[in-house]
Structure 1
Amino acid sequence: MSTVSVTSPSAANTAVSTTGTLTTPLKDVVQDLPLPAIGEPVIEVQNLTKRYGRNIVHQHLNLEIRRGEIVTLVGGSGSGKTTLVRQILGLEQPTSGTIKMFGEDIATIGAEQARLMRTRTGMLFQQGALFSSLTVFDNIAQPVRELGKVPPDLLRDIVMLKLEMVGLPCKHASKMPAALSGGMIKRVGLARAIVLEPELLFLDEPTAGLDPRSSDEVVDLISTLHRALGLTVVLVTHDLDAMVALSTRVAVLAERRVLVAAPVEEAASVDHPFIREYFLGMRGRRALQALPPERRAKLPPAALASAAVGCKPG
């Protein structure tokens, strides 16, 4: 085995050694690359309704996500963010409406086509969801092994490369999940999510339970992988700082539908009680004021009020 390459066109010049390891940190490789170009729709949710008995979670919900975007799903508890993701992934069936992924209606495709489509997606679960009885290596290798027999040398190169892409030295490959910190578990979960080099990545609360430094590192890693692999990312988070730092658009779920799907500075300008409460409270204003000046200038005046403790928007 001589070389393992990163197949994304935007990271085609990434230096990879003959042992499958990065010769340059991925962040340094991609720091001057432009963001992935926004392309065609890869997820189309149309007129979606989801009921559990008498409880209606979504009603006539519509959402479109385009290639290259990072779209963050935000909303109050019980607004159905994770339920929406589970339906997009085909883990739950909608009561009515249609969901298309890569132009295909996921309710009508055959089993083999569905299997191939799953290889084009990756998922990071909220708590990492690592198999506690498997090593880090075997956790990351699992999706590759499910595809069929892969030569051991090639499998090792793939896993070690993914470990290094998420910022973990290869020495951690033999560890068990119980020996990892919370931040390391998130990184291993990310390595497993990208091991098949998917086009579409779903992240469920990637910074939940992390200290501020680890949270910032995970946000930085997501941004790096977005550029390096040309990913489309669907992010579910309550972390306002992560939302502002990463999002191409924010989709706000309330009243059983998507109220608005727009850049965060535009979403914060919508006159709606939930949006005012969510974006214009102290924590929301503090996060929004971290936007670059040209985007901060588009915020509503109330978002620019002092975010110091005890101050309220005017």
Structure 2
Amino acid sequence: MSTPLKEAVRDLPLPAIGEPVIEVHNLTKRYGRNIVHQHLNLDIRRGEIVTIVGGSGAGKTTLVRQILGLEKPSSGSIRMFGEDLATVGAEDMRLMRTRTGMLFQHGALFSSLTVFDNIAQPVRELGKVPADLLRDIVMLKLEMVGLPCKHASKMPAALSGGMVKRVGLARAIVLEPELLFLDEPTAGLDPRSSDEVVDLISTLHRALGLTVVLVTHDLDAMVALSTRVAVLAERRVLIAAPVEEVAGVDDPFVREYFLGMRGRRALQALPPERRAKLPRAALAPAFGSMGGGPC
């Protein structure tokens, strides 16, 4: 599904990489005796798309929840937009959250609300907004994510999986955030719908100058979108770098995840100038039987 927005921003440059908007320093997170993160460090700079990957139980969602202020670290610090989350007051935290948007894995739409009301909900939470202005805001966001206005009156149960993701994205950007968090945005979609969502994320990143934090197992989406990839392993960020550099790290998880057949196939779709920087193992034939590689 093409959108007018995609055509409008086709020739625009990618957002310039700027100052850090998220700074995680020496983070440790414990649940009883279970240590999820230990001395973890990660910076995310304005304009980047940073993908967080890691094995099951590596703490990807836990890290995002701490960055969003939904959980507190056991020790260490997290700064967002230059503010230490441990010392930010409730009102300032509420305002800070209006500068962020979140797309949940399965859309997390309110099943009892229409598409219009789902998208309008964050605006209504801020206070009274004139009905005509609210309608204009919601319809603009629907247009930006490539959905005709006729879908505004539908209930979530009447939507396809790809449409649910688009409505979730419209709600995530309705307050014009600077920072967008995406949790498995292509999960459960067929290949065509997955490609369309990846294309939409890329378009919104370029159009709105967003900083994006992406959690995904989708190797194709990771390679297509990421400025850098942050690998969670051994309770810390093992490396945060462009994917062609990450693929060369001598680590068991990296080898399994990036250099299996599916990983190699995704990496070999990189542009030639980036593909030339891949380790030799990533350039081995990636087509044939579907055995090997991560699921």
Amino acid paired to 2:5: L
Question: In the alignment, does 2:30 pair up with 1:29?
Answer: no
Amino acid paired to 2:266: A
1:267 to 241, 246, 261: 246
| Number of aligned positions between the proteins | 290
- The aligned counterpart of 2:103 is 124
Q: Deviations over 1:60-98 (max 9, x none)?
A: 000000000000000111100011000000011111110
Question: In the alignment, does 2:94 pair up with 1:115?
Answer: yes
- The aligned counterpart of 2:225 is 246
Amino acid paired to 2:148: P
Structural mapping, 1:1-314, within 5 Å: 25-310=4-289
Q: Give the gaps of 5 or more residues in structure 1.
A: 1-23
Amino acid paired to 2:187: A
Q: Distance in 2 between matches of 1:77 and 1:153?
A: 46
- The aligned counterpart of 1:8 is none
Query: Percent identical across equivalent pairs?
Result: 89
**By how many angstroms is 1:242 displaced?**
0.0
**By how many angstroms is 1:37 displaced?**
0.0
Q: Distance in 2 between matches of 1:134 and 1:140?
A: 10
Q: Distance in 1 between matches of 2:101 and 2:252?
A: 34
RMSD: 1.1
SS at match of 1:45: strand
Q: Deviations over 1:74-127 (max 9, x none)?
A: 011110001100000001111111000000001101111101100000000000
Q: Give the gaps of 5 or more residues in structure 2.
A: none
**By how many angstroms is 1:309 displaced?**
2.9
Amino acid paired to 2:141: K
The answer on whether the counterparts of 1:58 and 1:257 sit within 8 Å (CA) in structure 2 is: yes
Q: Deviations over 1:162-189 (max 9, x none)?
A: 0010000000000000000000000000
Q: Distance in 1 between matches of 2:292 and 2:279?
A: 14
**By how many angstroms is 1:312 displaced?**
7.8
SS at match of 1:265: helix
